[in-house]
Each structure stands twice: as C-alpha cells, then as structure tokens.
Amino acid sequence: MKRALLSVWNKEGIKELASALHRAGIELISSGGTAKVLEATGIPIIDVSEYTGSPEMMDGRVKTLHPRIHGGILGRRGVDDQVMESHNILPIDLVIVNLYPFEEMTKQALPLDELIEFIDIGGPAMIRASAKNYRDVLVITDPADYPFIINAVSAGRNITIQERLSFARKVFARMAAYDGAISNYLYSVDSDFPDVYSVQYTEGRGLRYGENPRQKAAVYGSSGIAGSHPFQGKAMSYNNYLDLDAAFSLLCEFDECAAVIVKHNNPCGVALGSSIVDAYIKARDIDPESAYGGVVTVNREVDTALAEEIISTFIEVLAAPSFSEKARDILKVKENMRLLILTEPIQGDQVRTIDGGALIQSTPVIREEWTVVTERDPTADEEAAMQLAMKICKHVKSNAIVFADKSRAVGIGAGQMSRVDSARIAISKARFPLAGSVAASDAFLPFPDTLEVAAEAGATALIQPGGSIRDEEVIKAANRLHMAMIFTGVRYFRH
C-alpha cells in the first residue's frame, strides 16, 4: 500500500493508526477535523483540498466529492491506469472512514433541519466505492479493526483477497443499517411507525437446529438475551433462547428476591423469597414435573445454597446476574447445564414475522388504574397477592389465569381457547391449597363462570382488566360469593 485516505468522525485510535501507516511509508491524505488532529501530532498529511485543488465548501458538505478522490478509489489497477494517469489521478489503496453519527443524534430530539446535517454523504460514497473495488482498495469503517491494519503494515504483510472481501462486507452491512436508520426516522416524522420499516441484526450464529431437528435456525444479536453466550455447558438451542427470553421478561417485573422457571415459553414456577434459594425452592415446588428440564432465571447472585439445590435436579439453563466462585465449582458437576450472566434488558420494538411480512409493536409504559368494583375491599394480603398474580399473568400465553398467594404462584393455566378452561387447568395443576388464594386474568371475564370456578377452588379475590358488556353480571357474582374484585383497565394478551 502506497497511499491512504483518512476521514473519520470518531477519532478514537486514529492517531495510533496514522502513526503506524506513516512509519510504514504510506502517504496520508486527510480532511477537515481528522486532518487537524493529525497535524497537531506532527504526522505529515496532505489535505484533501490541496490534493484535489478544490476548496472545502458549503460548510463542509462538499469535501471529498471529487474525481481525484473517487477515481483514485474506483480505478481498477491494470484496467484504468491510462485514464488515471491522463487525469493526474493517484491510486488510493487504503480508505479509513467512519460516518456522521446519525443514529446517536436522533436520541437528542433535534429539529429535523439540524438532524439532517448528520446525514453523511461523502463518507458513504467513499466507503461504498472502496468496497466495490475491494480487490484493489482496503476499506476500514470500525476503529475496532485498526489493530489489524497496524499489525499488518508493521509486519509488511499483504492483505489477502479474503480479508479485503470481509471488510467490504462490513461496509455494505454498515450502510444498510445507516440508511435504514435514516429511512425509519424520516418515515416516522409524522407517524408512530414508518411506511417502510428497516431492521438489521448482527453477529448471526448458527444453531444446531430450530424448534425441531428438521428445521434450520440461527440467532442474531450482540446484546441482551440474543447476545448471551453460556460460560458453562452446551451451546444454546433455539428453544433455549425462546424460553430464556420469556423467563427474563417476567423476572424483570420484580425488584424483590425472585426466581422464575419457564418451560415451553410459559412460566411453570414463579416465587419470591427471603433468600434466592428460598425463592427457587418455592418456584420449583409449584410444579416440579414441569420444572424438570426447564429454564431458570434468578435476580440475585447464585450462591452455594442455590447451586446445591440446582444440581439436585435436571435444569437446561440457569441465568443470573452473577455466580459466586464456590457456586461455579459446585455447578461444574452438571457439565452440560448452560450457565449465563444476565445483563440489563434491551428496550425496543417487538418484531414477529408472518407469511409475507412482519408485525411490529411497541410497548409504552402504562399505569394500571386499580378500581375496587365489589362491595368488599381486598385485604392487604389479597392485594399483595393480586400484584404478584397480575405480574405473572402478563407473561403467560393467553388465555391466562393465574392463582397466587403473596409470595408465589400456586396454579397457572395457559394458552386455552376458553378462559374457564385455563382456570380449570390452573386448579388441576395446583399442588398447594387454593383456599385463600387470589386469581388473575389477562383479559376481561366475558361470563361469571371463570370467577365461579375460581371461588369454588378457594380463591377469595380476583383481579382482571374489566371492560366486558357483562361486567355487571360478573360483579354481582363476586358479591354473591363474597369475593373482592379489582378492575385494572389494562389487558395483557400474549400470543
């Protein structure tokens, strides 16, 4: 490489890179703020304006849009040499460019006229041109890749065609994300969702198979659950990721010491405890048959007491904010069990594919408005149990009915076409007495039957969104059965 062009918004590592290139005898062309940074360090550079013979203009909008720049990048060695020579165009062998931070600036609520100035033009043009001509031009857009270049030029090593192609791929992926972010923003200026919705996920990793062995699958993402990798155990499966995501979403409902166990995307054990092992034992004992082979999440460090309980049965995945060293040693006896560290949840739109397209939804923060609609108010214990039951109910597949006391679920009914059938399933699976429990429903009760079934099982209170045309019938039934009932005004269907 004889000549490099450097023009970056993010100046991280650019001095070190430029120094290495200069030591390797590579001529440096630079512009704007990058040129000033390098000149201040004493590294010799040629300013773009000096090289092109054209001044920077229009407040920096036009700097590198010039034939001597783009001809030097796009010129095919051995094909366009004569044209380049006749127009005094020198070949540019290395392009180091990163873009104006449009995505970051959208978070600052700038007026559109200000934000639009962060739409990069020259940068995308240069890196696209470089990537197109990757056989002759190496292009770098990520400061994390600078050490690769520094090591290569310091050792005098040639960059292989495969390496050049890999960096060209990164350019087009970056441009797809960049242009997608601009498109999404501009389309959303006057609406909640854009007419054209662009999304990009990175760091794709192949999985052994999908939901079933005949299906192929991969996971994409670099953060949150999608970016999580086990530090012990087998590689995560498609179903492991689905269940871990469901378990973590429910776990995030709690500040108290809590444990959540999920099987086939539904919680089968949820409990609060005085310690994390207490919470886990309570959660496991709600439905130990379903907990067998399940995914466990806890919101406290895994200590030795919990580790001992975990290894007493078969668990597919255990995820927690941290693990003590002694707990890690204990858990090694289950060498196939996947252990993961939980990080902060990642907020964003939910995307689900359907035949021919996708469904997109956002979930704004909403405050439930609890209203007692019966003659009897709930007791303090009933109200605490209702809070727990409704937190769980939000994460159970519809139709959902959950029975709970103030520290744990005691019966979970999920995914039925009839709400009363969900109640009957919850009752049938309960291993603890339901007398004195409360029931929660993710949507309104269309008839009194679900409430009557819950009361017969021993529930003394019920919480639901309300909003049925038969609300008065359900309220009358609750009064007749001396139950307390609360309407929240918020439905929690989960399909």
Q: What are phi and psi of 438, to 5 degrees?
A: -120, 160
Q: From the candidates 234, 264, 332, 406, give the one annotated as an active-site residue.
A: 264
Q: Write down how long the chain is.
A: 495
- Report strand pairing: 315-320 vs 338-341: parallel
Q: From the candidates 132, 234, 332, 406, give the one annotated as an active-site residue.
A: 132
For residues 307 and 368, give the distance between their C-alpha atoms in angstroms, rounded to a whole number: 37
For the CA atoms of 326, 327, 332, 334, the dihedral, rounded to the nearest 10 degrees, stands at 150
Known active-site residue 397: no
For residues 106 and 181, give the distance between their C-alpha atoms in angstroms, rounded to a whole number: 9
For residues 266 and 350, give the distance between their C-alpha atoms in angstroms, rounded to a whole number: 18
Buried b (16+ CB within 10 A) or exposed e, 68-105: bbbbbbbbeeeebeeebeeeebbbbbbbbbbbbebbeb
Known active-site residue 406: no
Longest dimension (CA), the chain: 97
Measured from the Cβ of residue 364, the count of other Cβ atoms closer than 10 Å reads 4
- Report strand pairing: 484-487 vs 371-372: antiparallel
| All residues at 6 or more sequence positions from 301 whose CB lies less than 8 Å from its CB, including other chains | 276, 320, 321, 322, 323, 324, 327
3-state DSSP assignment of residue 181: helix
Helix-then-strand count for the chain, H and E? 19, 20
* Helix, strand, coil percentages in the chain from 3-state DSSP, rounded to 5: 40, 20, 45
Catalogue the active-site residues. Answer: 132, 264
